[in-house]
C-alpha cells in the first residue's frame, strides 16, 4: 500500500549559491587579504576592480590607503581631453596615499607647466626618485644636466645624485625605456601649457676632452643604442661621454 504521507522537502544548494556563500566570508586573516590586495593593485587596475567585487570584506580592504599607494597607474593615460570624474577621484586618492607614480606625474606637470610652483614640482620629482621610482630618477637627472634652472639651484651634490641615478638605471638596463617614457610625458606637457620661461639648453659638456679617445662612437655606430644590452657598462669607455650623449638624445626627443 502506497504511503500517503506528504513528501519531506529537502533543501538543495546550487553551485552558484555555494560560491556566493563562500565569497561572503573568505575566512583568511585581514593581513593576508591586504597582502593579496597590494599585489593585485601593483599589477593591474582591472584585476583590482574585479577583486573589489569578490566580497564585501575585500571591498573594504581594497579601500585601504596602502592599496592606493601601490596602485598600478600605467593603464591610466597622462592626459585626457575630457576628465573622467571617477578616474580623477581615484588619482586624487592615490596622490593623498603617497602613490609614487601619481606624485611623479604631478611633480612633472608642476615643473614643466607652472610658473609659480615649478620649484615644488622639481622637489616632488626628486623626492619620488629618492624612493626608487625609475622614471623619476631619469627625469630628475635630465633636468639637472640640461636645464638652465640648475645653474641656480644646482650643486655638486645634486649632480652626483643625478649621475648616480643614471648609473643605477644603466645597471638595471632600463635607460632607453625610461628615456622613451619620460620624453613621451614631456611631449604631452608641451601641448598642455608648458612654461613660457622654460628654456632647454645643454649646459657645458661633462666630458671636456675633444675628441675623446675613449668614446663609444666607433663601437656602437654614433651611439645609436638599439637595445638596453647595447649599453654596456665598460670601465674603459668614457662615462661622461655616455651621459653627454644621453642629454642630447633626450633633448632631441622632446
Query: pLDDT of 117-137, one tens digit each?
Result: 889 999 999 999 999 999 999
Those residues with Cβ within 8 angstroms of residue 50's Cβ, 6 or more apart along the chain or in another chain: none
pLDDT at 13: 47
pLDDT at 82: 64
Query: Please, are residues 48 and 16 in contact by the beta-carbon 8 Å criterion?
Result: no
pLDDT at 174 over 70: yes
User: Per-residue confidence at 105, pLDDT binned at 50, 70, 90?
Assistant: very high
**pTM higher than the cut 0.85:** no
Which position has the grid cell 592606493?
Answer: 68
pLDDT at 152 over 50: no
User: Per-residue confidence at 216, pLDDT binned at 50, 70, 90?
Assistant: low
Q: Which residue has the higher pLDDT, 128 or 84?
A: 128
Nearest to 164 by CA among 146, 190, 181, 144: 144
Average pLDDT of 192-215? Answer: 68
For the chain, the average pLDDT equals 77
Q: Which residue has the higher pLDDT, 43 or 250?
A: 250
pLDDT at 164: 95
Nearest to 60 by CA among 34, 88, 41: 34
Q: Give how far Cα 22 sits from Cα of 53, 60, 122, 183, 243, Å.
A: 14, 17, 49, 48, 57
Query: Please, are residues 186 and 254 in contact by the beta-carbon 8 Å criterion?
Result: yes
Amino acid at each position: 500500500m502506497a504511503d500517503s504521507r506528504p513528501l519531506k522537502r529537502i533543501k538543495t544548494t546550487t553551485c552558484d549559491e555555494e560560491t556566493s556563500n563562500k565569497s561572503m566570508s573568505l575566512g583568511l586573516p585581514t593581513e593576508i587579504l591586504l597582502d593579496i590586495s597590494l599585489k593585485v593593485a601593483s599589477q593591474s587596475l582591472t584585476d583590482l576592480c574585479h577583486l573589489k567585487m569578490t566580497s564585501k570584506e575585500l571591498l573594504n580592504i581594497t579601500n585601504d590607503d596602502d592599496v592606493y599607494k601601490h596602485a598600478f597607474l600605467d593603464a591610466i593615460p597622462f592626459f585626457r581631453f575630457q576628465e573622467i570624474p571617477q578616474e580623477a577621484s581615484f588619482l586624487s586618492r592615490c596622490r593623498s596615499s603617497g602613490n609614487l607614480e601619481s606624485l611623479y606625474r604631478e611633480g612633472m606637470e608642476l615643473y614643466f607647466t607652472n610658473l609659480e610652483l615649478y620649484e615644488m614640482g622639481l622637489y616632488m620629482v626628486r623626492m619620488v626618485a629618492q624612493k626608487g621610482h625609475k622614471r623619476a630618477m631619469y627625469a630628475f637627472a635630465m633636468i639637472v644636466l640640461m636645464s638652465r634652472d640648475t645653474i641656480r639651484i644646482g650643486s655638486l651634490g645634486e649632480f652626483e645624485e643625478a649621475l648616480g641615478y643614471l648609473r643605477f638605471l644603466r645597471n638595471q638596463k632600463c635607460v632607453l625605456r625610461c628615456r622613451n617614457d619620460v620624453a613621451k610625458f614631456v611631449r604631452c606637457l608641451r601641448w598642455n601649457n608648458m612654461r613660457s620661461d622654460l628654456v632647454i639648453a645643454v649646459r657645458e659638456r661633462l666630458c671636456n676632452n675633444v675628441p675623446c679617445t675613449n668614446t663609444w662612437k666607433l663601437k656602437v655606430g654614433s651611439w645609436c643604442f638599439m637595445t638596453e644590452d647595447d649599453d654596456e657598462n665598460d670601465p674603459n669607455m668614457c662615462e661622461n661621454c655616455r651621459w653627454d650623449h644621453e642629454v642630447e638624445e633626450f633633448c632631441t626627443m622632446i
